[in-house]
Chain A
Amino acid sequence: MRVIYLIIGLFAATIASAQETVVSELSQDGVSITATFDGSEIFLFGAIKRDAPVNVSAGKLDVIIEVSGPPTETLVRQKERKAIIWVNAESVEIDRAPSYYSIAATGPLEELVTESERSLRNLGLDYAVRVADEADEEFREAVIRLHQKNGTYASEITPITLTEETLFTTKLAMPVNVVEGEYTVKTMLVRDQQVISTATSTITVRKTGIEKWLYDLAHEQAFLYGVMSLVLALIAGYGASEIFRRIRG
């Protein structure tokens, strides 16, 4: 996947403009979910490489960074009043929804790139989250709203500081409820509302240490995990009664 993105990126860069390419580097390419995991912040540094001086008449230069988490099967349910109580009634499967989505840019997305560029690259939440049937628009909006509420979709665009049209930096915030998987970070260089160069990197989010061990055990060795939970409970229960018996005695 990474290689394909890279090739597409390089290819696009070559035809659009031979002289400007974007390079970027992350402060870390992995996030470990440990027992004390409380979200993470990753810095992205980038630069624009030029083979030749830029024409003075060249249009406005912008940078867009899109971070999207691994897509998950998303089922959205809608509550309805049945008799006097509210119950889950209709449900819709969302065809495409990343588990995490955020955009960092030098300005509002609508002003930086053309509508056709956004649709081509699935750029922005309105393109990144899709439903097959237009009648399910309400469900699509609900996915975005719910994700924004728990922090897995960014509600606002993170600003990027672009220095001398050459260097830029931004902060990517990974919330505490990120799911495991490969996160794609796409850095796009925009000139005259057209993407002229793309650099792609990946952040791998993984559970590590005791978190990973317990999660894997619970899913792969469920019986053993159940027995372990029970043994722990029995030891704790026996321990507690013994300790308090001695305190009283």
Chain B
Amino acid sequence: MQIYLPIAEMSVNVFLLIGLGGLVGILSGMFGVGGGFLMTPLLFFIGIPPAVAVATEANQIVASSFSGVLAHVKKKTVDFKMGTVLLLGGLLGAAIGVQVFKYLKEIGQVDLLITLSYVVFLGMIGSLMFIESLGAIRRSKKSAPPKKIKRHNWIHGLPFKMRFRTSNLYISAIPPFLVGALVGVLAAVMGVGGGFIMVPAMIYVLGMPTKVVIGTSLFQIIFVTAFTTMMHATQNYTVDAVLALLLLLGGVIGAQIGTRIGVKMKAEQLRILLAIMVLGVCLKLGLDLVLTPSELFSIGAGGH
């Protein structure tokens, strides 16, 4: 069954979209990640214009994060104060990101920006995760105790100190603001929630306790992606509500299945699988940039 997407202006098979949503949903449920960084490149691969894919994916992430954050609010594992600082940074970052996006779209380099960002970030995160989980597997075999996270680092020397009770932290507001801003830029440019950057940063840079990290990052992601959706909708007209809804339909079902699979697997195995997948997507996008394309010309939308 084909459906015509009003904003992407193309006809796509409904079941392909629901299936893609489901597949990414399963993976995100298994690994506890948002899945935006997998969904957006998959949308490029099926021919959705990158600008539409990025903006629409932001809209979809609002839904999946909202669904996730509700459980964390009930369990009281959201640090609202920290979330708000991250959010303020995020809004600034997203505003900058959308403007950069708009400018590059006009000069015809937006696809390059998106692909490059993906290659750089996926490559970085994928390699780090891969090395880290390999190490974890070795350690678990030797059954040595894991390294303790340092609670005192350079961050404690910065001004504007604030008390974050839920996280049990007394640190400067500058680092979380900057982390939030970076994630905001990524949300606008890559159509991702940015959890894959924010979660490690919250644990290793800010030193937040692991149990509040996911809930707090989801809290930030909802508002930043909602803001990004609004910015893309009003400035670039690239949010496709029909596409978002279909991906969502598959996504929510997939996430539930994925969560159940994830429970049965070991954390290190999961992480190494995720790392391989991230590196795979990175490699594919990277090769597209480096290999000589079969068609050197493209028609840019002049009239839009």
- Is A218 a contact partner of B67 (Cβ separation < 8 A)? no
Given the complex, which residues of A lie within 8 Å of B303, measured CB to CB? 72-73
Q: Which residue of A lies closest to B232 (CB)?
A: A226
Interface size class of B (residues with CB under 8 A): 35 or more
Question: A234–B234 Cα gap in the complex (Å)?
Answer: 19
What's the nearest-Cβ distance from chain A to residue B148, in Å? 35
Least distance between B109 CB and chain A CB atoms (Å): 6
> B237 near A: Cβ within 8 Å?
yes
Chain A residues contacting B292 (CB-CB under 8 Å) are 81, 86
Q: Which residue of chain A is the closest to B255 with respect to CB atoms? A: A240
Number of A-B contacts (CB under 8 A): 170
Q: A33-B4, A240-B252, A244-B256 are in contact. Are A234 and B63 (CB under 8 A)?
A: yes
B300 touches A75 (CB 8 A): yes
Which residues from chain B contact A214 at a C-beta distance below 8 Å? 6-7, 241-242
| A230 and B1 alpha carbons, distance in the complex (Å) | 26
- Give Cα A38 to B4, complex, Å: 8
Taking a contact as CB atoms under 8 Å apart, the answer to whether B234 and A223 are in contact is yes
Complex contacts, B299 vs chain A, CB 8 Å: 74-77, 143, 146-147
Using A76-B297, A146-B297, A233-B63 as known contacts, say yes or no to A226 and B302 having CB atoms under 8 A apart: no
Known A72-B303, A218-B6: A236·B297 in contact at CB below 8 Å: no
Given A237-B63, A241-B71, CB of A225 within 8 Å of CB of B241:
yes
Chain B: minimal CB distance from A50 (Å)? 44
Q: By the criterion CB–CB under 8 Å, are A233 and B66 in contact?
A: yes
CA distance A36 to B111 in the complex (A): 29
- The CB with the most chain A CB atoms within 10 A, among B109, B232, B233, is that of B233
* Contact A236 B234, beta carbon cutoff 8 Å: no
Tell me the bound Cα distance from A37 to B68 in angstroms. 35
Q: Determine whether B46 belongs to the interface, using a CB cutoff of 8 Å to chain A.
A: no
Q: Which of B263-304 contact A (CB under 8 A)?
A: 289-290, 292-293, 295-303
Tell whether, in the assembled complex, residue B302 and residue A225 are in contact, meaning their CB atoms are under 8 Å apart.
no
Contact of B300 among A37, A76, A225 (CB under 8 A): A76
Task: Check if A91 is an interface residue, CB within 8 A of chain B.
Answer: yes
Contact check: which of B9, B241, B295, B296 meets A232 at CB < 8 Å?
B241
B132 to chain A, nearest CB (A): 28
Whether, in the assembled complex, A49 has its beta carbon less than 8 Å from a beta carbon of chain B, the answer is no
Cβ of B217 < 8 Å from any Cβ of A? no
B contacts with A: majority SS: helix
B233, A225: Cβ atoms closer than 8 Å: yes
B65 within 8 A of A: yes
Given that A218-B237, A219-B237, A222-B234 are known contacts, is A230 also in contact with B300, CB under 8 Å in the complex? no
Nearest Cβ on chain B to A228's Cβ, whole angstroms? 7
Chain A window 96-112, contacts with chain B (Cβ cutoff 8 Å), 1 for yes, 0 for no: 00000000000000000
**Does residue A88 face the partner (Cβ distance < 8 Å to B)?**
yes
The answer to whether B245 and A230 have CB atoms under 8 Å apart is no
Assess the A91–B300 pair: CB atoms within 8 A: yes
Q: Interface digits, A24-48 against B, CB 8 Å rule (1 contact, 0 not)? A: 0000000001111110000000000
A176 within 8 A of B: yes
Cβ of A122 within 8 Å of any chain B Cβ, yes or no, is no
Q: Find out whether the CB atom of A228 lies under 8 angstroms from the CB atom of B3.
A: no
Name the interface residues of B97-139: CB closer than 8 Å to any CB of A.
108-109, 111-112, 116
The chain B residue with its CB closest to the CB of A180 is: B9
The 7 sampled A-B contact pairs (Cβ below 8 Å) are A76-B298, A146-B299, A176-B10, A177-B10, A210-B6, A229-B229, A238-B66
B contact set with A: CB distance below 8 Å = 1-4, 6-7, 9-11, 59-60, 62-68, 70-71, 108-109, 111-112, 116, 226, 229-230, 232-234, 237, 239, 241-242, 244-245, 248-249, 252, 255-256, 289-290, 292-293, 295-303
In the complex, given contacts A79-B293, A81-B292, what are 17 additional A-B residue pairs having Cβ atoms less than 8 angstroms apart? A34-B4, A36-B3, A37-B4, A72-B302, A73-B303, A78-B297, A79-B296, A86-B293, A223-B234, A225-B239, A226-B230, A226-B232, A234-B66, A236-B248, A237-B62, A237-B64, A237-B252
Report the 6 A-B pairs with minimum CB-CB distance, sorted nearest first.
Answer: A226-B233, A73-B302, A142-B297, A237-B66, A240-B252, A233-B63
